[in-house]
Amino acid sequence: MQRSLSKAAIYVVMASAVAGLAFSGTSIKTDGVAGPGKNVDAKEIKLPAGFTATILATDLGATRHIAVNKSGDIFVKLSKLKDGHGMYMLRDTDKDGVLDEKKMFAGYPGTGIAIKNGYLYSSSNTGVFRYRLNEKEEIIDLENPEEIVAGLVDKGRDNAKPLTLDNQSNLYVTVGSYSDNCREAGKGTGMSPCTILDSAGGIWKFSAEKRNQTFKDGQRYATGVKNAVGINWDNKTNSLYATSHGRGKFDDMFPQYYTPKQSAELPAEALYKLKQGDDAGWPYIYYDHFQNKKILAPEYGGDGKKTGGEKAINPVAAFPAHLGPNALMFYTGNMFPAKYKNGAFIAFHSQSPELKKGYLVAFVPFVNGKAGKWEIFADNFAGTDLVKPTGPIQHRPCGLAQGPDGALYVSDDLNGTIFKITYKK
């Protein structure tokens, strides 16, 4: 299996491209972009016939979710500050298809980002800000965003606040659970009820237009969603969808019910279609993709076979355990073949012990609002054979965005790389 381009190889291309450049203005840097005149082919990425991947930028830091405006500018969130900033704006100033300008702004780290109704919305780990855009969807004032929401819980674990917006000026924000299974301290039993659900483990709805909201101003839209890092509003069905990370180990406390292999291969990662008041069942149940059932969690009396969660919704699609779905995007462009129209791309951030695969972008077709069988769309971001690794992981897909031309952008939060995937017959 072909290895990823090394940093050294990328730097060679960058060095020659960057030589002689001069930019004016503050916070504009040349490091990290591929340079004018040439992108770097990402031939190691495995794609269906007709698709091509290129590297637009690298070494940006812990790049998370991304958004692309109608002018082609790429906005990139960072989960850790770099040079005191938590966001990038990457631009192709001369429209030759190659990024040649970079601005850093926002003094807070985070994950969520979206463009809607003349604003760029961006989250920290405790709240949401927005930046007013001009007619080209460029940010008018980088330094003074409006604070929309503050005071969301942040206890360090699964504290990202991914977001999306509907067409009625509503803002949806994930508040992930800081507990893996809501067990009582030092015990194998679960808290009943799980008090964490009062402020986490779900998706909350706020006004997208009202400033200075706090947690109490929000409405819990859906609960029992452990950590929905992938979240997106589908305009085709006018519905909220989210991908949830599954819980961790079973065999540490319940070896009588689960072997280490079962513990490594359960539960499923899940894609949910959510409406107001829905409950996905965490922590009381989990979804078993081998049995295709909702199974009662062992902390609440389950044994790996008992079903539960009669009132909990079923996922619309299920994936092998521990793949880590970190971004969800419905494709509405015209560049890709017709089969991709209105389907969902999902960026998986980790790997599956069951599949011996991971670090990939999957595709879920949707026909008449119904999810079909998922497939691997873009593979080998890892750059090494996951069955018998010969080196370290190179890239971890984390964010997805659609460009104005219909291209698909993928961010990598391991080496801070931005990929662009295009199609040509």
pLDDT in tens, 378-397: 999 999 999 999 999 999 99
pLDDT in tens, 348-362: 999 999 999 999 999
Query: Which two tokens mark 202?
Result: 């779900």
Closest alpha carbon to 223 in 191, 193, 198, 243? 198
* pLDDT confidence bin for 185, thresholds 50/70/90: confident
* pLDDT the model gives residue 33: 60
* pLDDT the model gives residue 40: 87
pLDDT in tens, 64-123: 999 999 999 999 999 999 999 999 999 999 988 899 999 999 999 999 999 999 999 999
Three-state DSSP state, 296: strand
How many other C-beta atoms can be found within 10 angstroms of the C-beta atom of residue 401? 25
Three-state DSSP state, 410: strand
**pLDDT: is 415 or 186 the higher one?**
415
| For residues 362-367, average pLDDT | 97
Query: Which two tokens mark 218?
Result: 């929000």
DSSP 8-state code for residue 340: G
Report the C-alpha gap between 267 and 325 in whole angstroms.
Answer: 13
Cα atoms found within 13 Å of the Cα of residue 71, Cβ hemisphere only: 16
Report the C-alpha gap between 268 and 256 in whole angstroms.
Answer: 21
Rg (CA), the chain: 21
Q: Which pairing describes strands 146-150 and 213-214: parallel, antiparallel, or unpaired?
A: parallel
* pLDDT the model gives residue 35: 47
* pLDDT the model gives residue 32: 60
The yes-or-no verdict on residue 24 having pLDDT over 80 is: no
The yes-or-no verdict on residue 36 having pLDDT over 60 is: no
Structural domains of the chain ordered from first start: 7-423 (2.120.10.30)
Min mean pLDDT across 5-9, 241-245, 261-265, 398-402 is at 5-9
* pLDDT the model gives residue 17: 35
Residue 219, CA distances (Å) to 174, 205, 242, 309 in order: 12, 5, 17, 23
Cα atoms found within 13 Å of the Cα of residue 134, Cβ hemisphere only: 8
Q: What is the mean pLDDT of the chain?
A: 91
